[in-house]
Chains A and B, each alone.
Chain A
Amino acid sequence: MDNQTPAAELVDIWKRFPGVIANAGANLMVRPGSVHAVLGENGAGKTTLMNVLAGVYQPDEGTVSLAGQQMSFTKPAQAIKAGVVMVHQEFRLIPTFTVAENVALAGSPSIIAKRSIEDSVAELADRFGLATDPSREVWRLSMGERQRVEILKALWQDAKVLILDEPTAVLTPSEATELGRVVTAMANDGRAIIFISHKLDEVTEFCDEATVLRGGATVASSLPVEELDAARLAELMVGEATEVSVRRTRTSPVAEPVLEVRNAAVRDLHGIATVADVSLTVGKGEIVGIAGVAGNGQRPLADAIAGLESLESGTISLGGSSIEGATPKARNAAGLAYVPEDRLGVGLAPRLNVVENAMMRSYRSMTKGPFIDRSATQTMCEDLAAEYKVKVGKFDAPIGALSGGNLQRLLVGRELADDPKVLVAAQPTRGLDVQGVAAIQQIIVEQSQAGLGVLLISEDLEELLALSDRLLVMHEGEIVAEFDPDTTSRAEVGAAMAGAH
């Protein structure tokens, strides 16, 4: 089938949002009857590109063609009609409706005979090996079963191009294998499947070709998967070595551990293990880096250390005393600072003003009777802004008015204000401009030299190699490797990130 007209082709797609270029000349060519992987780090532009194909966004420049015919979608309904259907990560199902009813909602004759719809849905499911009971209500189904309903909806709409956005993220391993069979069956039926994933082993298992995006542009298009090895793919994804402005001299071997995690395990809401048996130690004045492709358990690990997520098993101790049962407040009081991945929404409260955000950790001690001492909090906030060079227009304006770099400086500054023992920083420089990145890295290095233990979780390999004293690699919820940043190579770390042991 290799020489056919492409089922879908995107050429030189540009898409700009205020302040961000999400796609900068991205290309994608998908053949009918093939499974095509789209790879890239978070923020590489995968989702935007897929939304362009699915008619959610209109590209600023570039063309979209289906089966050789140029298209210009202005809304998703047009793309669906033309045969492009996207299965989103968050399912769009009505829980109290049955499987058949949900499928029928995707488009059906105006008069619905329940029995005949159920029969047709069952028939369609059988054809592609999608085990499901059309008369069951969706709320009774597991995540894997719900995903099958979404795929059924797409098939019901006779999708020629099916986009699966990180489809295995919510699945157990056996469900993922099952999905692989369904995907193959759909491809054998002549449909084109676009498979967005972070997990390289799945790509090599399920997919025929792969396109890699980085910084909004295509860096490798339609590579045959047989010719790929995981290390090469990882290198394509993270890119060439870039210069990092902040370097540090490593600390000598550490005597005094300040943060110790032993055999930590976390399960998500659906019971899927996200962190499995992780043990690590951060010493006084040490920066321990955690590398990994997004979604391999870094975030639940950080949340579990900060107390936002509960441990299924394992222990965490801070400065020698056990904290795994303590509240987030108690952990913070005991000397744990946390810069979460979601700055605005977790670390900062979006609708509150700058001062109110600056006092989130300290307001309890800044009161006069039941009232907050507003002159004290104002002074504290102004001092904080001055010390960490946060440019604030109006202190009583909502925090959202600050730029990304200023937000992060305020957040980091606030977390460090109480002289903590340990800082857990998750993606602290993601999305910041060059000066912003340098400023945050500078703060982290200076503080560690003053004795702060830092657990630095990042997807930026250069940053990790430049800043860390030791570098751990997380893959599928486990720590799979440890490197000395002075002697390791990007390729070596990349291979570990890809799960090649």
Chain B
Amino acid sequence: MFGFRLQKRETPLPGGQIRAFIVGLLVALLIGALLLLMVDQNPLDIYAKMFSAAFGSSQGISTTLTRAVPLGLAGLAVAVAGSMGLWNIGAEGQIIAGAMGAAWVARLGPDLAGPALIPLMLFAAAIFGGLLAFGPAIARAQLGVNEIITTLMLNEIALRAVRYLVNGPWKDPDSFNFPQAPALPEQSVLPTLFDRASIAVLIAAAVLLVFGVYASRSAWGYELRVAGSSESAAKYAGISLKKKIFTVLVLSGTIAGLGGGLVLMGSSSSPSRLVEGVANGWGFAGIIVAALALMRPSGVAAVAVAFGAVQVGGLRIQTLGVPASVANTLQALILFGALAAAVFTNYKLTRRSAAQAVTA
């Protein structure tokens, strides 16, 4: 149409992921600079401030990492399903379900489990996330029902459920009618690691590391990739697709659910309590994180930290007189540039041949 077209590379650009990422980032920053100039800001100054807000101080780093926790786990949830060609669009709802599970255990009685309370709450969070994915998993495996639609719709269900709880049975009587649950008991809040970061960062890092290695090195991860490459090939290789689809989708929900527990129990805002907006869009952002990691679980952690940094930087510059809309556009540009770059590791832009261009 414009004399150019995308052509699939026979082999992905070697080392292209990182190269393309940098180019995409630079292009995005360049466009962003124009935007900033239009609102009379010095782009270099603003970019420097964004960077230092995210990484320039212990406080900044702790905020960035705290944001990377739910981004990373939601991203991992999407990537685990995505490496098999499945789309879990329900991480948002699974995060809510996980947070509800953890809050429920805490409600049962803070002194009930003693020192096991925190592990028990995290366990419940994971189970609740998995349970929300259970229906879509079984429907996809047994009947071929499109998991994109079922997981997406369950987000609404989870949202209504938490809304009901914080407006009804779990509503804090001392909240001056705010729709929120009571603050979590102190012994259920995750200990601080440094500044604003809790040990949620360590737990998430461990989960990402274990899954990153497991997915790329294990027989299980190999089977996922065969199935993701071609269902017929998986069948031919004797891989049970139904079982795989089921376990992967439930596992994906479990990971996102754990993320919900960590968000609830390790957030920097104090006191920690269940509110309607507990998932805060992390689950949807996780889809972008997974896409940027090219659906490879091993790449999710780095992307999540970078994404968290962009968010922290974006928030920071709003306090410096950059309009919120420009700050948000800047964030979107950076993500968009990185996503576009991801495309170019597998595709290249070619000119149509002269003959084709003439006839076209």
By a beta-carbon cutoff of 8 Å, the part of chain A in contact with chain B is 58, 72, 74, 306, 308, 327-330, 332, 338, 340, 342, 345-352, 356, 359-361, 363-364, 367, 370-372, 374, 397-398, 400-401
Give bound CA distance, A208 to B226, whole Å. 49
Q: How far is the CB of A338 from chain B (nearest CB, A)?
A: 7
Chain B residues with CB under 8 A of A400: 10-11
Chain A residues with CB under 8 A of B11: 397-398, 400-401
Give bound CA distance, A351 to B229, whole Å. 6
Closest to A309 in B: B235
Give bound CA distance, A345 to B226, whole Å. 10
Cβ-defined contact, B222 with A374, below 8 A: no
Cβ-defined contact, B12 with A398, below 8 A: yes
Given A349-B229, A360-B226, A363-B222, verify A338-B236 contact (CB < 8 Å): yes
By a beta-carbon cutoff of 8 Å, the part of chain B in contact with chain A is 10-12, 214, 217-220, 222, 225-226, 228-230, 232-240, 356, 359-360
Question: Which of B219, B240, B359 interacts with A72 by CB under 8 Å?
Answer: B359
Cβ-defined contact, A345 with B225, below 8 A: no
Give bound CA distance, A328 to B235, whole Å. 7
Give bound CA distance, A372 to B213, whole Å. 11
Give bound CA distance, A332 to B238, whole Å. 9
Question: Which of A338, A340, A356 interacts with B225 by CB under 8 Å?
Answer: A356
Chain A residues with CB under 8 A of B219: 363-364, 367, 370-372
Chain B residues with CB under 8 A of A360: 226, 233, 236-237
Question: Which of B226, B239, B360 interacts with A74 by CB under 8 Å?
Answer: B360
Q: Can you list the 7 inter-chain pairs with the closest CB atoms, starting with the nearest?
A: A329-B238, A349-B229, A349-B233, A351-B229, A346-B232, A360-B237, A370-B218
Give bound CA distance, A398 to B14, whole Å. 11
Cβ-defined contact, A346 with B10, below 8 A: no
Cβ-defined contact, A345 with B232, below 8 A: yes
Give bound CA distance, A328 to B222, whole Å. 18
Cβ-defined contact, B220 with A370, below 8 A: yes
Q: List 10 A-B contacts (CB under 8 A).
A: A329-B239, A345-B232, A347-B233, A350-B233, A364-B219, A372-B217, A372-B219, A398-B10, A398-B11, A398-B12
Chain A residues with CB under 8 A of B359: 58, 72, 74
Q: How far is the CB of B254 from chain A (nearest CB, A)?
A: 18
Chain B residues with CB under 8 A of A308: 232, 235-236
Q: How far is the CB of A167 from chain B (nearest CB, A)?
A: 26
Give bound CA distance, A43 to B233, whole Å. 23
Cβ-defined contact, B214 with A370, below 8 A: yes
Give bound CA distance, A332 to B235, whole Å. 12
Cβ-defined contact, B237 with A352, below 8 A: no
Cβ-defined contact, B236 with A306, below 8 A: yes
Give bound CA distance, A495 to B11, whole Å. 45
Chain A residues with CB under 8 A of B225: 349, 351-352, 356
Cβ-defined contact, B218 with A372, below 8 A: yes
Give bound CA distance, A401 to B360, whole Å. 30
Give bound CA distance, A308 to B232, whole Å. 8
Chain B residues with CB under 8 A of A397: 11
Given A347-B233, A370-B214, A398-B11, verify A356-B222 contact (CB < 8 Å): yes
Cβ-defined contact, A345 with B218, below 8 A: no
Give bound CA distance, A329 to B223, whole Å. 13
Chain B residues with CB under 8 A of A351: 225, 228-229
